[in-house]
Amino acid sequence: MTAPTAPSPRFTTGTPGSPDLLRSVFRQHAAGVAVVTATTSGGAPVGFTATSLNSVSADPPLLSFTIGTGSSSWPAVRDCDHLGVHILAEHQRELAGLFARSGADRFGPATDWAEGPHGVPVLSGVLAWLVCRVVARVPAGAHRVIIAEVVSGDPAVHAGGEGRPLLYHQGRFNALRD
């Protein structure tokens, strides 16, 4: 018995990639879902859903994510010293959608949060959260790569005990399958 063979890839040389190509390929890549929070210079909480969260270094403890410079949260992220990173649980699709929607009241009565270390908004009920000090904002097209150093947090599971993360795949929020 022979294994089925996959179609041979087609290669194109000399043609630059396109935004559509990148989006199409990354729709196949499952990513964890996080909410990043910060505070404006006036003290108002802001936040957005991010699927670009990465661990950069264990020593020093650094992470990164990207944000579009057209995002309503960009001015606060551009100007803040500290921000929050929250790992969402599989049952928090609505929360992820709320923080992904433009114009939504992200910190309204339906959102359980409190002021955390360094004045950063910290969401309740998430799998885990970190407060980080921003160390770099690197230009990358119409986005910035934010590199931040972890200064505090809570790695304990608070989102129903299971500890199962929310994923983003094929343009939708999804849960892990057994």
The CATH number of residue 142's host domain is 2.30.110.10
Overall number of domains in the chain: 1
E strand or H helix at 172, and its extent?
A: strand 172-175
The overall average pLDDT reported for the chain is 89
* 3 state DSSP class of 161: coil
Does a structural domain hold residue 74?
Answer: yes
Does a structural domain hold residue 63?
Answer: yes
CB 47 within 8 A of CB 106: yes
Predicted confidence band of residue 106 (pLDDT cuts 50, 70, 90): very high
Q: Is the pLDDT of residue 1 over 80?
A: no
pTM for the structure as a whole: 0.87
Q: Report phi then psi at 120, rounded to 5.
A: -80, 135
The sheet carrying 172-175 orders its strands as 31-32, 166-169, 172-175
Predicted confidence band of residue 25 (pLDDT cuts 50, 70, 90): confident
Domain with 85, as residue range(s), is: 19-175
Does a structural domain hold residue 8?
Answer: no
